[in-house]
Structure 1
Amino acid sequence: MDPRLQQAAKSGSIDELYALIDENPYILENIDAVPFINTPLHVAAASGNIEFAMEMLNLKPSLARKLNTSGYSPLHLAVETGHTDFVSWMLKHDHSLACLNGRNGMIPFHLLVVRGNVDLVAECLLVSPECIRDVSVNGRNALHLAVVNDRYEVLQVLTGWIKRTMQRNAFKNEFCFLNKEDFSYNTALHLAAQKNDLQACFIFSSAFFFHT
């Protein structure tokens, strides 16, 4: 990427963006032609520049799904760098971005679970509930990740959502989420038991065994 374009994205300068486009009308086309590349949208996401990102997506919407050479989309980077407003805006722009596969099969929703961002986890479940079905390359879903990373508040949100939807899709939810095994044949509850994680076990039991 042209260093001037990178700096424009980092600073959020839309005027500089168009000056570069005027100099080379194919500048964004050339970036989009590369399968894996750090794009101006990645830089804007890592910097939290929403207005610049809006302009980029108006010009080249496909960049929202482009992975960089480290295997991360712009939304992955926004989650990793903690720009919550940017993440929320991206989810509103395109709900399906929550389920975009990145490095190790991790989707942005998984990263939100790992980071323990309760509000954005709940937002993802509202706008893109199918993301709870996705698993990483080792077969772990959001429940596994919440247990492994001791994200108890997130685990409460996830189990609460599953419990509320079980009446409509009881078998599907039990098989796909609650009893989903990773590649080591462990469910999330198995992992909690192996860790002797009483708090996680209590959350599972309160949600699925002791309710009336």
Structure 2
Amino acid sequence: MMEMIKLKPTFARKLNQAGFSPMHLALQNHRTHAVLRLLRFDEGLVRVKGREDLTPLHHVVQNENLNLLKKFLEVFPEAIEDMTVRDETVFHLSVKNDMFEAFQVLVGWLMRRWYESPRWEKELLSWPDIDGNTVLHIAAIRNRPRVVNVLLEHMRRDQINAKNLEGLTALDIQSQYPWNERQADKIIDMLSKAGGLSGSSSSLPNTSISSFHIESLKDKMSRSQKWATRPGQVRRVWYIRCVTHF
């Protein structure tokens, strides 16, 4: 493998027909030695996106390979920013796959690196996936009080009360869909004490990012939307929205 990659370095990043790179395949087949050799050859292989934009870092999070997770974060910290095709972060994936230890490692690492990149803590722990769900929403959906407890230590009140595309906060989800009554009561209590509110509360704004996306999908466009889609206006409107968002 290494001889071929030395002769043709681009092969290390090439995807097969199934959408996997050599690093992805080495991980899937538990070839740790091959993974480490590839890593020494090119640390950037940690960020190669395969099928559904899953990277090798996403893979080790989903399978809770803690040793490789720590190694990947050590050699290429920026890999923590990579998202799947569904806008899921490594934090989403760890909670969705019930990998609490991996989640703890990620949060602990994020806190230690906060002084280098403060925006990571603010953005990654409250980032919405394609359905508008933050990691806190996912923890509520899956009834994971330990995850909720960790998140609440690092989130502002506005992040705790973020709404998904259905206009629901984490408190709404936990109140409406309690899979386990005892755990649900515990999570509701934690959220309430942290300032958690219902999405319909008058204390929260009526509009949200999600409502904008829903409105944009309606067949009938407003006059301003029709103007924005005229030739020459699309790029300008996109630029203004990006600047406003960031």
**TM-score for the superposition, normalised by structure 1:** 0.69
| Identity across the alignment (%) | 37
- For residues 1-212 of structure 1, the aligned pairs below 5 Å read 53-170=1-118, 172-205=119-152
Residues 18-47 of structure 1, C-alpha deviations (whole Å, 9 max, x = no match): xxxxxxxxxxxxxxxxxxxxxxxxxxxxxx
| Gap regions ≥5 residues in structure 1 | 1-52
- Show CA shifts across 1:135-168 (max 9, x none): 0000001000000001111111100011112233
- Decide whether the 8 Å contact of 1:155 with 1:203 is kept in 2: no
Given that 1:79 and 1:87 are in contact with CA atoms closer than 8 Å, whether structure 2 keeps it comes out as: yes
- Residue 206 (structure 1) shift: 5.5
| Higher-Rg member (1/2) | 2
Q: Which amino acid aligns with 2:104?
A: Q
TM-score computed with the length of structure 2 as normaliser: 0.60
Higher helix proportion (structure 1 or 2): 1
Contact 1:138 1:182 in 2 (8 A): yes
State the Cα deviation string for residues 75-115 of structure 1 (Å, max 9, x = none): 01111111122112211211100000110010111011111
Q: Which amino acid aligns with 1:160?
A: G
CA contact 1:163–1:207 (8 Å) conserved in 2: no
CA contact (8 A) 2:62 2:93 kept: yes
Q: Offset of 1:207 from its aligned partner?
A: 6.2
**What is the letter of the counterpart of residue 114 of structure 1?**
Q
Q: Tell me the amino acid that sits aligned with residue 32 of structure 2.
A: T
Instruction: Give the aligned length.
Output: 156
Residue 54 of structure 1 deviates from its aligned partner by 1.5
Comparing 155-164 with 82-91, greater Cα deviation is found at 82-91
Alpha carbons of structure 1 residues 153 and 61: separation in structure 2 relative to 1, 3 Å: same
The one-letter code matched in structure 2 to 1:93 is F
The CA distance in 2 between the partners of 1:83 and 1:204, in whole Å, is: 33
Q: 2:139 is aligned with what amino acid?
A: A
Query: Is the 8 Å Cα contact of residues 125 and 155 (structure 2) preserved in structure 1?
Result: no
Distance in 1 separating the partners of 2:38 and 2:123: 27
SS at match of 1:125: helix
